[in-house]
Chain A
């Protein structure tokens, strides 16, 4: 038992010509549970993958599993994003495919996925029920994997990891996309598994979020080095990014074609027996700034997909977009040209083989990937926006080679490049570090001063832009409350739900 669980010596990692980690040393003794933080792009994810044996590096990484323990001798890494495959092993799904009903049953259900996983790892099936209940997942057991939202996929990965109880459990961004209640449950469950001997490494840069009690060591990666911290309060405060002046083309008010941006009348959406939206009536007028909230699975993404022209069932509902009735001969591209949208799912399915420049430019045509040549005036605007976001040195790099936080900034730039009438920002700051989040929220405030209409999805405790003035809350597919932000009284109960 004297050997540490993990012993890393002189680990160096280089990406192309950039040194990411240099001569890093880290000892994890038995009984220790770590929090690892660091700015976006500092190398946290790479380090985690190296420990789990998923990525090569220079230097030594020794893992000594406790031979006395009956836990699986395994270092399991849970990605912050997860790409599932269908039963034929194909991972080619596309954005919003989950809203299209198709009878080909070649994608596993949650239940089938768990059965296969449990069998493969010899797990006790009675335990998984407890986990599913804790995450409010039981109702989703018969859903196909493709029908799950990004938050629900995250939960499924966590359920599997907690069920397996590997000797070393590394979770990258455990809390992204989870509502407050789920976070609390996750922390309790993590504390629970440590009692069996599971050791944790949680990767998380948010200084505010509540952690499991069992976390007893803190560290961060700072300028290629591993730095142990005495407490969480010692985490480096990232310097605030200086705001530059907004490019002129974004200061011009968007040309509204109608006063009514969205008008929903008694909207109902269901898949077979399962009703996901019930009697939704909602009116968004030009220039309004809305906050949309609700727990995981409450129907937020489905609601937004109706506005973005992505939902097949919108043709059977009474819905007006930008003054026109949906299904009156318009194409989805006619709708999308009014909208700039970003969401975790959109990011997930985005074309990773585009460069930064192409990704941003594609926002002008609402395409995923750039298939057109830009006129000079437009390409100059792309350059200007890239400069504004401080991405000039990355502009010819492939999007997929950038750290997640930076990728997200690129997609945010894509969202605003055409100065749209309606901005839909669905958890836009997920994956950003704190300085990036503050910077981005300021930016939203500034952008909104030109009169753009905004629908913003964000969990309660996260930082929000100040310009928000109205709020709609969904629960189980129904509108729970709707009104101005000031009026809506925040009860204890609501904080818990959100």
Chain B
């Protein structure tokens, strides 16, 4: 199988990268009718599979699950999830031949084997749905020409998909139709209807393409979302220990700080996050993040280049074939860091203290979000797509760190994200070693404002505020966030 993207002429590459349409709610007035009465068969019953299925059934649709024979015979968790909630469960042979829409919600790594086994069983003219385009775009999976191939990707963990649905709302969702597989032209109508069935149409839907989704998703997850949060957390913790800050305090500050800080990001973008700092701290965080952007820009560009050329997926699939040798080594290394091994202390840290005593992380987040966004846009990805894969997802990942630190984050995210995260982290730490030598406890561990006169120069402050507010990620973000303001916050502290 050849990398699909690389088979395209430049014109078509740009064309598919540029599919990006923030859909008006009037596009969903037909509700679920395009899939009503059709047989929806979901492959896999993990967190996404179960929760999407519960929503679809509660929207009046016909949902059942198909699992591998061993999962059924051994009554694995996926089998229990489905049967205990009264869904019909069957093997591929039993359910796929009658399915109108087969929904593939298995992990990326299994896609080739799953799709290879189900495709011959699918009936003529049926639809195959993905929630991530890696298999189609990077692995170049060829789908039978009579089948329609669509994507519906809720941009939240499965539990949120369910929680928002039952209260009458939804989560932001990305939909796409594969241009090589839309023989009857029904792909978009079905993707929209499926999206309504999960409740996604109420929180903002972005029409994208398989290509744009993959190239932006990979970029976001390995740089700002997972990679930089991991690097920043480890470096911050180590710095505090080096400077004699109490280890329990340092551990707590790092574990929960990123969640508290990025909650402001979710509500009001970089601007709201930076506005939580005092003026002097804000100017300092701005300067530090400018420096970080200069240092890290080449690394961000390298990641984007390798993603575009297919080099990234090539080496990752090589590692898959090699029994995950690199992945497992890096995972073990992450589990052994001092941050991971130091439990959070039993100290109370107030909401504002997370900003004042962890200004360094604010600078990391601003630098990472803006860099990832700029690099994606420079590579031909549209700003709306870039927003979803940078700023929008940062608080969601931060929440996994607050739950159980980095090891947990890497367990929860997809296998491609985990691999990319380590790759970034390995390269970023040495890159920042000179920078970190200059960092002291005023930026991380102690209150930045302590012992300082809070006065600032008017013009300096105005210039900083202007630079922050006029950045394209802020302009696009303000528009997109309007559609999702009603989402509840996820909170650990």
A interface residue numbers (CB < 8 A to B): 88-97, 100-104, 271-272, 309-310, 312-313, 315-316, 329-334, 351, 353, 362, 365-369, 371
Stretch at the interface among B163-171, B362-370, B426-434: B163-171
Task: Looking at the assembled complex, report how far the CB atom of A348 sits from the nearest CB atom of chain B, in whole angstroms.
Answer: 13
Nearest residue, chain A, Cβ from B53: A312
Other A-B pairs beyond A101-B80, A101-B84, A103-B78, 20, CB < 8 Å: A88-B408, A89-B492, A91-B491, A92-B490, A95-B167, A96-B166, A102-B50, A271-B84, A312-B54, A312-B86, A313-B86, A315-B57, A316-B86, A329-B60, A331-B58, A368-B168, A369-B167, A369-B486, A371-B168, A371-B169
> Given A329-B37, A369-B486, A371-B168, A100 and B86 touching (CB < 8 A)?
no
Chain A residues positioned under 8 Å from B60 (CB to CB): 329-331, 334
**How does the 8 Å CB contact mask read for B56-76 relative to A, with 1 for contact and 0 for none?**
011110100000000000000
Nearest residue, chain B, Cβ from A106: B403
- Bound together, the chains give a CA A301 to CA B84 distance in angstroms of 19
- Pair A90/B490 contact, Cβ less than 8 Å: yes
- Bound together, the chains give a CA A101 to CA B493 distance in angstroms of 26
Chain B residues positioned under 8 Å from A90 (CB to CB): 399, 403, 490-492
Chain A residues positioned under 8 Å from B202 (CB to CB): 371
Chain B residues positioned under 8 Å from A334 (CB to CB): 60
- Pair A369/B169 contact, Cβ less than 8 Å: yes
- Bound together, the chains give a CA A104 to CA B491 distance in angstroms of 19
- Pair A351/B488 contact, Cβ less than 8 Å: yes
> Sorted from nearest, which 6 A-B pairs have the closest CB atoms?
A367-B168, A368-B167, A101-B84, A88-B403, A103-B77, A316-B86
Task: Looking at the assembled complex, report how far the CB atom of A326 sits from the nearest CB atom of chain B, in whole angstroms.
Answer: 11
Chain A residues positioned under 8 Å from B36 (CB to CB): 329
Task: Looking at the assembled complex, report how far the CB atom of B197 sits from the nearest CB atom of chain A, in whole angstroms.
Answer: 9
- Bound together, the chains give a CA A94 to CA B199 distance in angstroms of 16
> Given A272-B84, A331-B60, A100 and B167 touching (CB < 8 A)?
no
Chain B residues positioned under 8 Å from A102 (CB to CB): 50, 81
Chain A residues positioned under 8 Å from B169 (CB to CB): 367, 369, 371
Nearest residue, chain A, Cβ from B45: A103
Chain A residues positioned under 8 Å from B159 (CB to CB): 92
Interface residues of A: mostly helix, strand, loop or mixed?
A: loop
- Pair A88/B163 contact, Cβ less than 8 Å: no
> Given A312-B86, A329-B60, A371-B168, A94 and B162 touching (CB < 8 A)?
yes
Interface centre among B62, B78, B86, B163 (most CB of A within 10 A): B86
Task: Looking at the assembled complex, report how far the CB atom of B483 sits from the nearest CB atom of chain A, in whole angstroms.
Answer: 10
Chain A residues positioned under 8 Å from B47 (CB to CB): 104
B interface residue numbers (CB < 8 A to A): 32, 36-37, 47, 50, 54, 57-60, 62, 77-78, 80-81, 84-86, 159, 162-163, 166-169, 202, 399, 402-404, 408, 486, 488, 490-493
Nearest residue, chain A, Cβ from B160: A92
Task: Looking at the assembled complex, report how far the CB atom of A369 sits from the nearest CB atom of chain B, in whole angstroms.
Answer: 6
- 20 CB-based A-B contacts, threshold 8 Å: A88-B403, A89-B402, A92-B159, A92-B491, A93-B163, A95-B166, A95-B167, A100-B162, A101-B85, A271-B84, A312-B54, A312-B85, A315-B57, A316-B86, A329-B36, A330-B60, A332-B59, A367-B167, A369-B488, A371-B486
- Bound together, the chains give a CA A334 to CA B60 distance in angstroms of 9
Nearest residue, chain B, Cβ from A331: B60
- Bound together, the chains give a CA A72 to CA B274 distance in angstroms of 44
Nearest residue, chain A, Cβ from B78: A103
- Bound together, the chains give a CA A330 to CA B80 distance in angstroms of 25
Please pick, from A89, A94, A101, A309, the residue contacting B81 in the complex, using a CB distance under 8 A: A101
Task: Looking at the assembled complex, report how far the CB atom of B238 sits from the nearest CB atom of chain A, in whole angstroms.
Answer: 24
> Given A334-B60, A353-B488, A94 and B86 touching (CB < 8 A)?
no
- Pair B492/A88 contact, Cβ less than 8 Å: yes
Task: Looking at the assembled complex, report how far the CB atom of B169 sits from the nearest CB atom of chain A, in whole angstroms.
Answer: 6
Nearest residue, chain B, Cβ from A329: B60
- Bound together, the chains give a CA A90 to CA B412 distance in angstroms of 15
- Bound together, the chains give a CA A89 to CA B408 distance in angstroms of 13
> Given A88-B403, A331-B59, A351 and B167 touching (CB < 8 A)?
yes
Nearest residue, chain A, Cβ from B77: A103
- Bound together, the chains give a CA A95 to CA B165 distance in angstroms of 11
- Bound together, the chains give a CA A369 to CA B203 distance in angstroms of 13
Nearest residue, chain B, Cβ from A85: B492
Please pick, from A94, A104, A316, A362, the residue contacting B163 in the complex, using a CB distance under 8 A: A94
- Bound together, the chains give a CA A100 to CA B60 distance in angstroms of 17
Nearest residue, chain A, Cβ from B169: A371
Chain B residues positioned under 8 Å from A367 (CB to CB): 167-169
> Given A331-B59, A334-B60, A94 and B80 touching (CB < 8 A)?
no
Chain B residues positioned under 8 Å from A97 (CB to CB): 162-163
Task: Looking at the assembled complex, report how far the CB atom of B263 sits from the nearest CB atom of chain A, in whole angstroms.
Answer: 13
Chain B residues positioned under 8 Å from A329 (CB to CB): 36-37, 60, 62
- Pair B404/A88 contact, Cβ less than 8 Å: yes
Chain B residues positioned under 8 Å from A313 (CB to CB): 85-86
- Pair A103/B81 contact, Cβ less than 8 Å: yes
Task: Looking at the assembled complex, report how far the CB atom of B382 sits from the nearest CB atom of chain A, in whole angstroms.
Answer: 26
- Bound together, the chains give a CA A365 to CA B491 distance in angstroms of 27
Nearest residue, chain A, Cβ from B59: A331
Task: Looking at the assembled complex, report how far the CB atom of A322 sits from the nearest CB atom of chain B, in whole angstroms.
Answer: 14
Interface centre among A100, A271, A351, A365 (most CB of B within 10 A): A100
Chain A residues positioned under 8 Å from B59 (CB to CB): 331-333
- Bound together, the chains give a CA A330 to CA B61 distance in angstroms of 8
- Pair B54/A94 contact, Cβ less than 8 Å: no
Nearest residue, chain A, Cβ from B485: A371
Chain B residues positioned under 8 Å from A95 (CB to CB): 166-167
Chain B residues positioned under 8 Å from A333 (CB to CB): 59, 168
Chain A residues positioned under 8 Å from B86 (CB to CB): 312-313, 315-316
Please pick, from B81, B168, B490, the residue contacting A369 in the complex, using a CB distance under 8 A: B168
Task: Looking at the assembled complex, report how far the CB atom of B34 sits from the nearest CB atom of chain A, in whole angstroms.
Answer: 14
- Bound together, the chains give a CA A331 to CA B31 distance in angstroms of 11
- Bound together, the chains give a CA A313 to CA B85 distance in angstroms of 6
Task: Looking at the assembled complex, report how far the CB atom of A187 sits from the nearest CB atom of chain B, in whole angstroms.
Answer: 35
- Bound together, the chains give a CA A170 to CA B59 distance in angstroms of 46
- Bound together, the chains give a CA A48 to CA B165 distance in angstroms of 37
Task: Looking at the assembled complex, report how far the CB atom of A354 sits from the nearest CB atom of chain B, in whole angstroms.
Answer: 9
Task: Looking at the assembled complex, report how far the CB atom of B334 sits from the nearest CB atom of chain A, in whole angstroms.
Answer: 18
Task: Looking at the assembled complex, report how far the CB atom of A143 sits from the nearest CB atom of chain B, in whole angstroms.
Answer: 15
Please pick, from B58, B84, B404, B408, the residue contacting A309 in the complex, using a CB distance under 8 A: B58
- Bound together, the chains give a CA A96 to CA B492 distance in angstroms of 21
Chain A residues positioned under 8 Å from B162 (CB to CB): 94, 97, 100
Task: Looking at the assembled complex, report how far the CB atom of A94 sits from the nearest CB atom of chain B, in whole angstroms.
Answer: 4
Chain B residues positioned under 8 Å from A272 (CB to CB): 84
Chain A residues positioned under 8 Å from B167 (CB to CB): 94-95, 351, 367-369
> Given A329-B36, A329-B60, A353-B488, A100 and B168 touching (CB < 8 A)?
no
Nearest residue, chain B, Cβ from A271: B84
Chain A residues positioned under 8 Å from B166 (CB to CB): 94-96, 310
- Bound together, the chains give a CA A334 to CA B31 distance in angstroms of 13
Task: Looking at the assembled complex, report how far the CB atom of B226 sits from the nearest CB atom of chain A, in whole angstroms.
Answer: 18
Interface centre among A89, A97, A310 (most CB of B within 10 A): A89
- Bound together, the chains give a CA A331 to CA B62 distance in angstroms of 11
Task: Looking at the assembled complex, report how far the CB atom of A5 sits from the nearest CB atom of chain B, in whole angstroms.
Answer: 26
Chain A residues positioned under 8 Å from B50 (CB to CB): 102
- Pair B403/A103 contact, Cβ less than 8 Å: no
Task: Looking at the assembled complex, report how far the CB atom of A87 sits from the nearest CB atom of chain B, in whole angstroms.
Answer: 9
Chain A residues positioned under 8 Å from B54 (CB to CB): 100, 312
- Bound together, the chains give a CA A92 to CA B60 distance in angstroms of 26
- Bound together, the chains give a CA A101 to CA B60 distance in angstroms of 20
Task: Looking at the assembled complex, report how far the CB atom of B77 sits from the nearest CB atom of chain A, in whole angstroms.
Answer: 4
Nearest residue, chain B, Cβ from A101: B84
Nearest residue, chain B, Cβ from A352: B488
- Bound together, the chains give a CA A100 to CA B402 distance in angstroms of 25
- Bound together, the chains give a CA A310 to CA B57 distance in angstroms of 12
